[in-house]
Amino acid sequence: MRASSTPCTLSASGGLAPSEIVASASNQYAAMPSMHVGWALWAGAALVLYAKRPHIRFLGIAYLVLTLLVVVVTANHYVLDAVGAAIAFTLAIGFVAVTARDEPGLRLASASRAPTRRATT
C-alpha cells in the first residue's frame, strides 16, 4: 500500500483520520497524562490562590473546565488522561511540600492562601 502524501485523510465514515505517514511517526497512546489539563490545573490553581477578585478566581476554574471539555470533545485525550494529569499535579505538590520544608524562609500556605516568603536575616 502506497503512503498518502497528505497528512490526514477522510475515513470511510466521513471523519478525519491520520494518514499512514502521520500514524507511523507518532504514538497515538502517548498522551498520558494530559499536559493540556495539567497546565490548566496549575494555571487555574494559581489564579484561584493568588487572585483577589472573585471573577478572576472564577476564570481560573473556568479555564480548567473548558480545557478539559475541549481536549475530550476534540478527542485529543481520554478522560483518563486528565485523571493522570490530576494525579501528577497532586504528586508534584506533595513532592514540593516535602522537599521545601528544609528551605529557610519558605512557608507553605494552606489552600486558602498563597505561599509567602519570610524575610531572612
What pLDDT is recorded for position 108? 54
What pLDDT is recorded for position 118? 58
The reported pTM is 0.59
Contacts of 7 (CB under 8 A, 6+ apart): 18, 19, 21, 22
What pLDDT is recorded for position 72? 84
pLDDT, mean of each 10-residue run, the chain (121 residues) = 48 57 66 84 91 91 91 81 90 85 60 55 56
Unique residue bearing C-alpha cell 516535602 = 98
DSSP 84-97: HHHHHHHHHHHHHH
Using CA atoms, how far apart are residues 78 and 30, in angstroms rounded to an integer?
11
